[in-house]
Structure 1
Amino acid sequence: MDEMDAPLGGGGRVRLTPAQLRVLEQLATGATSATIASRLFVSTATVRSHIAALHKRFQVHGTMPLVVAAIVVGLLTNDSLPLQLTGLAEFDLHDLEG
């Protein structure tokens, strides 16, 4: 099973399976677990399992923090985001410092 790899804060890295990345991309569109399950031809329990694993890997709670974390590490880009979130992929968290 191939994994996607991206840097994570604190010098760590986050590794996602292709299935986890597909679920993450669907979450970024605002899809529910049931909708994601239908689109990916898996059970809702499988989707929920992937979401739980994503929360653990990114060390966040909730869908929006998960999506933002994925944008920050470069796993999601404007091409994979719904219109209302485009532009976040270029957002620099360092702009908030200061």
Structure 2
Amino acid sequence: MATASVGFKSREEHRKQQELEEARKAGLAPAEMDEDGKEINPHIPQYMSSAPWYLNADKPSLKHQRKWKVDPNYTKSWYDRGAKTFQADKYRKGACEK
């Protein structure tokens, strides 16, 4: 028989996972730790805390939410936001035709 897929959980495993999440939210169980040793807030929704499938994240982490470009002027080097490239001074015949 073929092996089960990686994301498959039995009914019992899913129930235990839900109970653990509820205990974490109530403060009865310790918070989940990411790969850097920081606690993951149990009140963060799952769609925000789980990494996208294409990042192949094995361990829980919030690195995909953090700023991954360290240079604050990263976008300014290739995209000058708000700059006017051309400003028309007068009407040109045929400008509004398709």
Q: TM-score, normalised by structure 2?
A: 0.24
Which structure dedicates a bigger proportion of its chain to helix?
A: 1
